[in-house]
Amino acid sequence: MADPGAFLNISRAKVVKEKPADRILHSKEFVQKFDLPVLKNQASRCMDCGVAFCTNGCPLGNIIPEFNEAVQKENWYEAYKILSYTNNFPEFTGRICPAPCEKACVLSINKDAVHIEEIEKHIIEIAFEKGFVDAQKLPVRTDKKVAVIGSGPAGLAAAEQLNKAGHLVTIYERDDKAGGLLRYGIPDFKLEKNVVDRRVELMKDAGIKFEFKAHIGRNISFQAIESQFDAILLAGGATLARSLDLPGKDLKGVHYAMPYLKQHTRIVAGENAFTDGDIESNVADILINARDRHVVVIGGGDTASDCIGVANRQGAKSVTQLNIYAQPPLERTSNMPWPQMPLIYQETSSHEEGCNRQWAVRSKELIGDESHHLKAIRLETNGHEIGGPAKEETFRQWVIQCDMVLIAIGFSSPEKTGLLEEIDPELDERGNVKASDKDFATSKDKIFVAGDMRRGQSLVVWAISEGRESAVKIDEYLMNKKSQLPSKYRR
């Protein structure tokens, strides 16, 4: 380490962002890059701990102290090789990961953690600028063919790893472009789609085939592809929206988050907001727009935050967020000690742009009038446990007049109709496709599963991890020997 005491003298730098009043006028990314001296100083705060808890906290097992040291020395190729050894897509995780590595950073016990996520993003962008990132074309191939159903982060990661092993990989995607939730669930102001397209083009150049508008189980039967491949990976995600028991939710002006976010992404890209592949038939011909509306967002997670950011950019008159959970503490409590991922109060960039946040609130009913305005009758509660919803012990109810309600309470499981109906694999108690994290094999021969479709709704970094680890097991299944693909479980 250049300066082993740097963490004592250098503070965590603040990320510079475009002012909220300016950035809501567009949908581009608004976080500025660090200057080189600042980047090196931030990397120097890493203590190169004897036990790298940051690495353990990362679902991918990123080798963080080593790439921090390479950044300090301006050895960009080495930093890129270290980072890309464990992470296929640092340009994604460097922008949208909640950084569990930082929560596990030893420095975060009593100081601000190392800026790991920002450093990661800078490494990969510098690598692209310097031409280090290229298509990895293989001169020798096996004769094994693998189908990957779904082009979200799990499917993309698995495909890239299997391609590196020499197998012929085809990705089937029901939409007209790749990315899954990376494209249609995360707005451009957090992840511009040219970042996704850049990676997809590299994968195509490396020999991976993409079949778009290929909705297996709908317009293409599973049997039609099963006979063509030696192994199949299900990576379709957990796309079934969690149902909300709310009288009046079928009124005009009430929508689930994903159709709303998907439409906005298409419009930003200059595309038609509606496509034949949309499964949300109830909104197939309804343009959802928050302009001049008083918007209520029900839900407290990242998807709800994204809805807030989009509503502000569309020109909403007001945005109110209703969270069933009580407001978290500002710091760790005894219930969430380091290095666990803490549940503490956080304000996202979308909240900075304008939002009335309400905590410990249960939506009770929506009432429509002749003008189709909606009234939300809410029940305030108190008494809570960390990580659980508030209890209805005492309450008062009041009314919010609103024109538009967005339901953003997450996803319950994969869709059961179509693909899974045709395959009929064994499911777990939550409705996900059952497979262990030891082999990722389903109850059906040669069919594997990874990502949210297996583990349930989770983080992008977990999806990439699942894709990588499932690729190891598929490779071993195909070749009947130990895989040479890297795994976080062995180095």
* pLDDT single digits (tens) 304-334: 999 999 999 999 999 999 998 888 999 999 8
pLDDT above 80: residue 382: no
User: How far apart are the C-alpha atoms of 475 and 464, rounded to whole Å?
Assistant: 17
- Calculate mean pLDDT across residues 34-56: 96
Q: Which of 346-355, 373-382, 406-415, 422-431 has the lowest mean pLDDT?
A: 373-382
Q: Supply the angle between the helices 302-313 and 257-268 in degrees, to the nearest 10.
A: 50
pLDDT above 50: residue 282: no
Q: What's the topology of domain 243-409?
A: FAD/NAD(P)-binding domain (3.50.50)
User: What pLDDT does residue 281 have?
Assistant: 41
Q: Do 248 and 400 meet the contact criterion of CB atoms below 8 Å apart?
A: no
Q: Do 146 and 474 meet the contact criterion of CB atoms below 8 Å apart?
A: yes
The three-class DSSP label of residue 44 is: helix
Q: How many CA atoms lie within 13 A of 342 on its CB side?
A: 21
pLDDT above 90 as % of the chain? 79
Q: Which residues of 353-392 are buried (b: 16+ CB within 10 A; e: fewer)?
A: bbbebbbbbbbebbeeeeeebbebebbbbeebeeeeebee
The domain limits of the chain are 6-129, 145-239+412-479, 243-409
User: What pLDDT does residue 324 have?
Assistant: 87
Q: How much is the pTM?
A: 0.94
pLDDT above 70: residue 297: yes
- Read off the pLDDT of residues 198-253 as tens digits, 9 standing for 90 and up: 999 999 999 999 999 999 999 999 999 999 999 999 999 999 999 898 888 888 88
Q: Which two tokens stand for residue 277?
A: 């592949």
The three-class DSSP label of residue 318 is: strand
pLDDT tier, 283 (very low <50, low <70, confident <90, very high otherwise) = very low
145-239+412-479 — its CATH code?
3.50.50.60
Interacting residues of 396 by C-beta distance below 8 A, sequence separation 6+: 380
- Calculate mean pLDDT across residues 357-367: 86
The three-class DSSP label of residue 402 is: strand
CA distances from 157 to 166, 169, 184, 447 (A): 15, 12, 18, 17
- Read off the pLDDT of residues 153-205 as tens digits, 9 standing for 90 and up: 999 999 999 999 999 999 999 999 999 999 999 999 999 999 999 999 999 99
pLDDT above 80: residue 396: no
pLDDT tier, 437 (very low <50, low <70, confident <90, very high otherwise) = confident
- Calculate mean pLDDT across residues 37-57: 96
pLDDT tier, 63 (very low <50, low <70, confident <90, very high otherwise) = very high
Interacting residues of 198 by C-beta distance below 8 A, sequence separation 6+: 91, 128
User: What pLDDT does residue 366 have?
Assistant: 86
CA distances from 109 to 66, 78, 101, 105 (A): 21, 29, 13, 8
More confident site: 195 or 489: 195
- Read off the pLDDT of residues 8-24 as tens digits, 9 standing for 90 and up: 999 999 999 999 999 99
Torsion of CA 194, 196, 199, 203, to 10 degrees: -120
Average pLDDT, the chain: 91
More confident site: 34 or 378: 34
Whose tokens are 């006979």? That residue is 227
Statement: 6-129 belongs to CATH 1.10.1060.10 = yes
pLDDT tier, 279 (very low <50, low <70, confident <90, very high otherwise) = very low
- For residue 433, which of 443, 155, 216, 232 has the smallest C-alpha distance? 443
User: What pLDDT does residue 369 have?
Assistant: 66
CA distances from 292 to 22, 253, 289, 314, 382 (A): 18, 13, 9, 8, 33
User: How far apart are the C-alpha atoms of 156 and 179, rounded to whole Å?
Assistant: 8
What is the arrangement of strands in the sheet containing 168-172, beginning at the earlier edge strand? 209-211, 168-172, 145-149, 231-234, 447-449
User: How far apart are the C-alpha atoms of 257 and 297, rounded to whole Å?
Assistant: 9
DSSP state of 389: B
User: How far apart are the C-alpha atoms of 67 and 229, rounded to whole Å?
Assistant: 38
The three-class DSSP label of residue 341 is: coil
- Read off the pLDDT of residues 102-134 as tens digits, 9 standing for 90 and up: 999 999 999 999 999 999 999 999 999 999 999
Q: Which two tokens stand for residue 451?
A: 């990502």
User: How far apart are the C-alpha atoms of 248 and 346, rounded to whole Å?
Assistant: 31
Euclidean distance between the first and the last CA atom of the chain, given in angstroms as a whole number: 23
User: What pLDDT does residue 94 have?
Assistant: 98
Amino acid letter, 423: I
Handedness of CA 385, 390, 393, 394 (dihedral sign): positive
Q: Which of 101-115, 222-236, 254-268, 399-413 has the lowest mean pLDDT?
A: 399-413
- For residue 45, which of 101, 5, 95 has the smallest C-alpha distance? 5
User: What pLDDT does residue 390 have?
Assistant: 55
**Within this chain, domains 6-129 and 145-239+412-479 share the same CATH topology:** no
Whether a cis peptide bond, with omega within 30° of 0, leads into 339 is yes
Q: How many CB atoms lie within 10 A of CB 128?
A: 17
Q: Which of 29-38, 339-348, 383-392 has the lowest mean pLDDT?
A: 383-392
Alpha carbon of residue 323 to chain centroid: 20
